[in-house]
Structure 1
């Protein structure tokens, strides 16, 4: 019997969860067999669906619950939480206004 693994993560990247981070999350989640959900403000979505991830409207500072249930749940939570910890490899310089060096 598989247990459910849960971890709370914080969106750290300046632009929040937009198309690129949503794509990274859904692709990473797709590598695992377990069922993975992300919950924000009581709304739980399938982490393997890029469109569902975008519906969360998760901005910088948002706290999300990652939940996984299945044979590789711990590995999935570790991999996904690492994406959040790294800010999806985005930096403040990427959100600088156009024309600025």
Structure 2
């Protein structure tokens, strides 16, 4: 399962939003990946997420694979939307 988001936070995904995403992903049983600019990293590793240097107006894809994949994606989407990190892209 996958969802795409446009990053709207002026600073992009820097330390604070990365920490929010990673802590949310870490509580899920599914494996989760964040993809940007042709690279995919584990969404459960803050260092991996930070290495992507995701700027404002970028499009990212978050994917989940596992028995709680749908719930995991919903949880991450809620974090992204409620903290002003980004907005959901239309499929």
Structure whose CA Rg is larger: 1
- Pairwise CA RMSD of aligned residues? 1.0
1:5-84 map, 5 Å: 5-84=1-80
* Deviation by residue 1:40-91 (Cα, 9 ceiling, x = unmatched): 0110000000011101111111100110000110111111122222314xxx
Unaligned regions of 5+ residues in structure 2, if any?
A: 86-91
Q: Which one has a larger percent strand, Structure 1 or Structure 2?
A: 2
Aligned length: 84
TM-score (norm 2): 0.87
* Deviation by residue 1:4-37 (Cα, 9 ceiling, x = unmatched): x111111111111111111111100001000000
Unaligned regions of 5+ residues in structure 1, if any?
A: 89-101
Q: In structure 1, how many angstroms separate the alpha carbons of the residues matched to 2:9 and 2:29? A: 27
